[in-house]
Amino acid sequence: MALSAAEKWLWLPRNRWVSLPDVPSLRRHRECKHDTFVSPRRSLRSVRGGPVRYAAGAGREVTRLLHVKATPTGPRSRSAAVAEAFVDAFLECHPQATLDVLDLSATTLPPVGAVAVAAKKNAISGTTGSADEAMSWQQTRDLVRRFTDADHYLFSVPMWNFGIPYLLKHFIDIVTQPGLTFRLDPRHGYQGLLTGRRACVVYTSGVYTPGCPPEFGVDFQSAYLNYWLRTIGVDPVIEVALRPTDFTGSLAADLDRAREDARKAAHTI
């Protein structure tokens, strides 16, 4: 199972990772400018960087937006409702853009078990494994390709037990692959291969809100997801947050303001 040009990665003895040069087809060109928006109870902020100018894939000029839904509650989801406001505004700004919706609760993700781990090691070493391992690696590559084909990303993410939903973590564990979405430089650490792409993440939480005592929750949600996106090269990450949604008498007004924040965010992508 030989590696493709985008997957070349050497794992030397004593756990010394050595990566080959960047894959030209994965590069983007960008100019950065910082934008910040803040509003009560919700915040929309540019975590790093700013407007991006990029070279689209060879022979392709249409912008592709991938919306990853990490909530199983469908039309009752507040994070999805805010995300829809972003989508509407984005398509108004980019009428030729295409939208790909990946609903994780309606998608059968390949398992990340012993077979998947063996398949990954086969790909790294260039060895041939079993038929099950080959099928597992092909499923991984198919999902990675769908992810990397996008020019920009939208995530709708509720807080579950102070972190992200398990389906989103499952998805991240599948698409975070050496040589496909990141590489490791022994001197400089992790380097993302998805540079030139931007992301907007809609965060919601029932009880937690920034500045609350730890007895009411700690944010392992945005801290983790923002760091992961930057690790694979997606930068900047723009947050639209609706917090809290429980024990508040102004949810309807907060939801309206969050939708407006999402529409503003769409104009910065």
Q: Which residues are annotated as a binding site?
A: 77-79, 159-162
**C-alpha to C-alpha distance for 170 and 68, rounded to whole angstroms:** 13
- The residues, any chain, with a CB within 8 Å of residue 11's CB and separated by 6 or more, are 17, 124, 125
Q: Could you give the angle at the alpha carbon of 56 between the alpha carbons of 54 and 60, nearest 5°?
A: 155
The beta-strand segments (E) located in 198-258 are: 198-204, 237-242
Instruction: Write out the binding residues for FMN.
Output: 77-79, 159-162
CA distance 153 to 135: 27
Cα dist from 82 to 46, 64, 165, 205, 256, whole Å: 17, 20, 17, 13, 8
Pick from 1, 22, 19, 2: nearest CA to 10: 19
Instruction: Report DSSP letters for 132-179, one per residue.
Output: HHHHHHHHHHHHHHHHHT-SEEEEEEE-BTTB--HHHHHHHHHH--BT
